[in-house]
Amino acid sequence: MPRLTPIPPAELSPEQRVLYNDMKEGIETNFKGFTAIRSDGALIGPWTAWLTEPKFGEASWHLVRALADKPALPRNVREVAILVTGAHFKSAYELYAHVLVSELRGLSDEKISTIVAGQRPVDLTREEAVAYDFASALISGGTLPELTYRSAVQLFTPHGAAELSYLVGLYALVSITLNTFDIPVPEV
């Protein structure tokens, strides 16, 4: 028995409808390459949980939008950090979505599969390596090591390093949400 079921648009409350419209537009604009909307218009993935609890969903969605709007970090760097986070939490939907997105962003299948297996690829670019180390350190707990922080600031600027931190935090939230409600990978 599923813990949550996607909500068809016709069954949304007025509060859910406002959030749904905003999320659907954002998904269609920024989240391509994987299934996030069913044929009946229901949102799947983390969006199911966020619509079910719109008070929390709206706050989560605002962070997603802030991080998706003109990101400072290169796309491949973002995907490395997201994959590290999703792999740490063994979040099936997160990994499904971002393996596909990572392929579109130019990461090799070998890099992707190595990260998903919880290992550090040997052929990361300098930027990807810093993103990998940054995300790995944060999800392991404790203070981010000074050298890792300085490397991120040097490569990405202080703003880029902050963006990387918020990105890892967001995808930890997304992964935990997906795992809490056991949200499955869509059937294709």
Regarding whether 149 and 88 lie in a shared domain, the answer is: yes
**Chain-centroid distance, C-alpha 108:** 19
- Do 150 and 124 lie in one domain? The reply is yes
* Structure confidence by residue, pLDDT tens digits, 30-59: 888 999 999 999 999 999 999 999 999 999
Q: Which domain-ending residue is among 20, 52, 68?
A: 68
Q: What are phi and psi of 29, to 5 degrees?
A: -85, -45
For residues 48 and 123, state if they share a domain.
no
What pTM was computed for the model? 0.95
Domain termination residue (choose one: 22, 43, 68): 68
**CA dist., res. 72 & res. 155, Å (int):** 11
pLDDT, tens digit, 9 for 90 and up, residues 134-144:
999 999 999 99
Of 68, 84, 109, which residue is a domain's last?
68
Neighbours of 87 (CB within 10 A): 23
Based on the domain organization, do 35 and 59 belong to the same domain? yes
Question: How many domains does one find in the chain?
Answer: 2
**Residues 38 and 115 grouped into a single domain:** no
3 state DSSP class of 40: coil
Summarised one tens digit per residue, pLDDT across range 86-128 is 999 999 999 999 999 999 999 999 999 999 999 999 999 999 9
Indicate the burial class of 73 (C-beta count within 10 angstroms; 0-12, 13-18, 19 or more): buried
Domain limits at 119? 75-180
Q: Copy the structure tokens of residue 113.
A: 């599969």
